[in-house]
Amino acid sequence: MKVGFIGLGIMGKPMSQNLLKAGYELVVLERNKSAAELEKAGAAVAATPKAVAELSDVVITMLPNSPQVQEVVLGADGVIEGAKPGSVVIDMSSIAPLTSQAIARQLAEKGIDMLDAPVSGGEPKAIEGTLSVMVGGKQDVFDRCYDVMKAMASSVVRTGDIGAGNVTKLANQIIVALNIAAMSEALVLASKAGVQPELVYQAIRGGLAGSTVLDAKAPLVMDRKFDPGFRINLHIKDLDNVLETSQEVGVPLPLTTSVLEMMLALKADGLGDCDHGGLVRYYEKLAKVEVKR
């Protein structure tokens, strides 16, 4: 199976490398230095999304948001112009569910199948090949593409028809954002009260308050490491999509709205490109204390 990959950023580059390691023939879009690195590792390089699709049975996109996916898939020299009937587009970006459904309808008119398959785990798990993939689309298309997705992930779960993958990812992003906020409140409280946050973390991580988010972010916060595994700006984008979807289906999300406002305040302070664990700095600014070992 020949796999095309478009979007070689923080996540896309290691995901592409894992496809090569798994033995897939890979075609990437020639737009940045990552493409040259992958070419040296054995990937073919194409000049346009159309050309990537012409050389591939499956085209994976890993792009920032809905407009970029629409442009690459449906725009001039887009994937839709080069993909063959029976081929599959797997969009692993995190975008609005209604956009996924609209793109899938246009692809279906040309006999092209689509899965929306956003991921969770950030750069470390993209490098390890242990991402969690949540997938929307037809069961038979999911079954056909399962091994391709599994080459980049430890968990690949179909959650429903097209759009369901991105609804699941929105739910994931709510839980992650609120977990980081809760962790930040707790560690800032402990620090302000004169209790070492490292000891608080060690005491609670094995109990009900323990979580993957706590273990991933608390040590980085205490070491003052805010290099992006997942940028605040990207989490803002995801929470914007959450609230857009919540309005469409009529679900109030007061906690999500509050955390989004905190992230927007950090962006206004010039911290939008920092890791989302940097949400702690919103609380630190208010409490005039720093969480550190």
- Looking at the structure, do residues 15 and 108 belong to the same domain, yes or no? yes
- Looking at the structure, do residues 136 and 180 belong to the same domain, yes or no? no
- Looking at the structure, do residues 172 and 254 belong to the same domain, yes or no? yes
Q: By C-alpha distance, which of 115, 240, 98, 237 is closest to 167?
A: 98
Distance CA 184, CA 214 (A): 10
- Looking at the structure, do residues 203 and 133 belong to the same domain, yes or no? no
- Looking at the structure, do residues 271 and 211 belong to the same domain, yes or no? yes
| Domain end position, chosen among 161, 190, 215 | 161
- To which H or E segment does residue 107 belong? helix 97-108
Distance CA 272, CA 192 (A): 25
Q: Report yes or no on 293 lying in a domain.
A: no
Q: Report yes or no on 35 lying in a domain.
A: yes
- Looking at the structure, do residues 189 and 249 belong to the same domain, yes or no? yes
Alpha helix segments (H runs only) across 151-225: 164-192, 197-204, 212-222
* Strand partners of residue 25: 2
Distance CA 128, CA 122 (A): 10
| Angstrom distances, CA of residue 286 to CA of 184, 192, 262, 273 | 12, 11, 11, 21
Q: Report yes or no on 224 lying in a domain.
A: yes
Q: By C-alpha distance, which of 128, 53, 66, 123 is closest to 93?
A: 66
Strand, helix or coil at 2? strand
Catalytic residue numbers, as ranges: 169
Q: Is the pTM of this model over 0.85?
A: yes
Count of structural domains, the chain: 2
CATH number of 17's domain: 3.40.50.720
pLDDT at 73: 98
Per-residue pLDDT of the chain (293 residues; tens, 9 = 90+): 999 999 999 899 999 999 999 999 999 998 778 999 999 999 999 999 999 999 999 999 999 999 999 999 999 999 999 999 999 999 999 999 999 999 999 999 999 999 999 999 888 899 999 999 999 999 999 999 999 999 999 999 999 999 999 999 999 999 999 999 999 999 999 999 999 999 999 999 999 999 999 999 999 999 999 998 889 999 999 999 999 999 999 999 999 999 999 999 999 999 999 999 999 999 999 999 999 99
State the helix-helix crossing angle for 97-108 and 164-192, rounded to 10 degrees.
160
- Looking at the structure, do residues 6 and 144 belong to the same domain, yes or no? yes
Angle at 8 between CA 5 and CA 12, to 5 degrees: 75
| Domain end position, chosen among 107, 142, 161 | 161
Per-residue buried b or exposed e for 240-266, using 16+ beta carbons within 10 Å of the residue's own CB: ebbeebbeeeeeebeebeebbebbbeb
Q: Report yes or no on 292 lying in a domain.
A: no
Q: Is 6 exposed, middle or buried (0-12, 13-18, 19+ CB in 10 A)?
A: buried
Domain that holds residue 177: 167-287
- Looking at the structure, do residues 136 and 174 belong to the same domain, yes or no? no
- Looking at the structure, do residues 182 and 249 belong to the same domain, yes or no? yes
- Looking at the structure, do residues 116 and 181 belong to the same domain, yes or no? no
